[in-house]
Structures are given as C-alpha cells and as structure tokens.
Amino acid sequence: MGIEDGLWSRSRRAAYAEITQVAMRLFLDQGFAATTIDQIAAAAGISRRSFFRYFGTKEDIVLGDLAVQGELVRDALEAVPLTVPPWDALQEALWKVEGLVGDDETMLKIATMMYETPSLRARSIEKHLQWQRLLVPNVRRRLGSDPTDADDVAADAIVASAIACLDAAGAVWARNGGAADLKELYRRAVESVRS
C-alpha cells in the first residue's frame, strides 16, 4: 500500500464516520422515516450522489456495522476453546464484541428506532443471517460435526436460536426503556429456549 492509498483510505473512513454521525443525529432528533437522504447529504455537506458512494440505503447507516460485528463475533468465538459448549461459547463471544454492548442511552435510542422501523428490522434480520453463516462452522466443530456438512442442522439451529435470543432480548430491552440488564435478558431468553 502506497502513501496515497493510505491517505485515500483514511479520508474515506473519516468521511464515512462523519456522514454516519450526522445521519444518526438527524435520525435520533426527527425519526428515521422523517429523515431523507437529501437532508443527510445537505447536513453532511455532500451531494446525494456522494452519499451513495458510501451507503446503499438509509438503513445501511444504522446497521452498516452489524456485518462487521458478525465478523468480530466469529473471531471472538474462534478464540473460545472448543471444549466450551456451543451455547456458552456463543454467549461469551457475543459479549466480547464492542458495539454490542456500549453506551446505554445511545444504544437504547438506536434499538428503539430499529425495533419500531420495519425496514430497519428487515435489514437487521438480513445481517443476522450473515452472522449465522459465519458462526455455524465453529459450532459444528464444537458439536464434533464436520464443519462442511451442509446436512447437519444442529449447529444451524443453535446459532439461529442464539441470534434470535439476542434479538428478542434487544426488543424487550428497548420496549422497556432499557430498565432491565440486556445481558440478563439474553441469558433468560437462552434459558427459555434451552428448557
């Protein structure tokens, strides 16, 4: 990588972060549906066309990091010894990833917006399906299965259930104004699925 490549990459990341910050402020102030791409572009000092160089949709601003977080959860799961059972290993990996647990006030606003906006919910589910593809091979190894066995449903079911538990815990947490501990809600959701 040359100096120019590094500078271009840093400039792109800085612009991405700035547009995201401007957009999130607008979303949280006036609501996701009420905020237009044109408003975001104007507030960020860019053209509509430039906006689409960074984001495919408004939803990607809110959930863009979700795909990256899936890779971080996978990496955290890989770091958990294979002797740790799948459910415990998934829980450990989920809570190691920064961004899944953060500033409660901001997280609550974003979670409430996401759970109340159908397009954000749909996009979130898409991203979680990507997580499932990333996590299943490790869980297959934990179960003693062949990581490439496409007919082994057990690992898929465990990972899908763990992600659904995270989603259910997040929905309850947002609905109750963040009054309960998110990790405890997740633990209870997992416990109810496993019983």
What CATH number does residue 43 fall under?
1.10.10.60
Domain encompassing residue 150: 62-194
Please say whether the beta carbons of 182 and 101 come within 8 A. yes
- Do 70 and 48 lie in one domain? The reply is no
Residue type, 150: A
**What's the pTM value of the predicted model, to 2 decimals?**
0.81
Average pLDDT in the 116-122 region? 90
Which ranges constitute the DSSP H helices of the chain? 3-30, 37-44, 48-54, 58-79, 86-96, 104-116, 118-142, 153-175, 182-194
- Do 163 and 69 lie in one domain? The reply is yes
- Do 81 and 139 lie in one domain? The reply is yes
Contacts of 137 (CB under 8 A, 6+ apart): 147, 148, 155
The pair of structure tokens assigned to 4 is 């120019």
- Do 72 and 51 lie in one domain? The reply is no
- Do 117 and 173 lie in one domain? The reply is yes
Number of structural domains the chain divides into? 2
56, 85, 100 - which closes a domain: 56
Contacts of 180 (CB under 8 A, 6+ apart): 172, 173
Residue 1: predicted pLDDT: 46
pLDDT tens across 135-175, in order? Answer: 999 999 999 988 777 788 999 999 999 999 999 999 999 99
- Do 48 and 86 lie in one domain? The reply is no
- Do 108 and 40 lie in one domain? The reply is no
What CATH number does residue 138 fall under?
1.10.357.10
- Do 129 and 78 lie in one domain? The reply is yes
The pair of structure tokens assigned to 180 is 């309960």
- Distance between CA atoms of residues 134 and 81, nearest Å: 17
- Do 40 and 79 lie in one domain? The reply is no
- Do 44 and 108 lie in one domain? The reply is no
pLDDT tens across 20-75, in order? Answer: 889 999 998 999 999 999 999 999 999 999 999 889 889 888 887 777 788 999 99
- Do 153 and 99 lie in one domain? The reply is yes
- Do 73 and 122 lie in one domain? The reply is yes
